Amino acid sequence: MTYRIAQFTLALLGFAVATAGCGHRQLDAVRDRIVRADHQATLVGCREMLANRQSYRVNPHYNGGEQSLRGVAPDPHDPQIPEAIRNLQPTFIEIFDDSVHLGFAAGGHRADVTAFASGVDDKVRGPQIGRGRALVSGLWYYEDL
């Protein structure tokens, strides 16, 4: 009996180690897409989404297809989403009054890109989104390990 418990424990530990490594690889892939992206084009695309927030198809997987209580939640696969945003392959998008939030699920980890509307003081607002760092003025990146 003790031998079986030890076997099960080792198998469970091996699974935990294997899946943890997989999550980091997924986060690395997301980070790589974000770092290699044209940050200025991403900011322009997000600001275009702010201006046209009601013209996008609703994300059917977000909150049961309902809009966000705080903003608009477009489908990231909508062909009307700017190409620079689609190329990043966000898991979800939220459009608020003064910002666009791109969320990325990465194997139990999370990464986010937040773009602020023109005129918003991102040097004040950017650090409020966590341990974020500016990619360009108005565009911030954050990841949660």
pLDDT at residue 15, rounded to an integer: 40
Of the candidates 128, 138, 143, 144, the one whose C-alpha atom is nearest the C-alpha of residue 42 is: 138
pLDDT at residue 125, rounded to an integer: 67
Question: Are 111 and 141 spatial neighbours (Cβ–Cβ below 8 Å)?
Answer: yes
Tell me if the pTM is above 0.85. no
Alpha helices for the chain (secondary structure H): 2-36, 39-51, 83-86, 122-125
Q: How far is 139 from 111, CA to CA, in rounded Å?
A: 13
pLDDT at residue 126, rounded to an integer: 60
Please calculate the CA angle 47-143-57 and round it to the nearest 5 degrees.
Answer: 40
- pLDDT values of the chain reduced to their tens digit, one per residue, 145 residues: 554 444 444 333 334 444 444 457 888 888 889 989 999 999 999 999 999 998 998 888 766 545 555 678 899 999 999 999 999 999 999 999 899 999 998 777 788 999 999 988 777 666 556 567 889 999 999 887 5
pLDDT at residue 71, rounded to an integer: 77
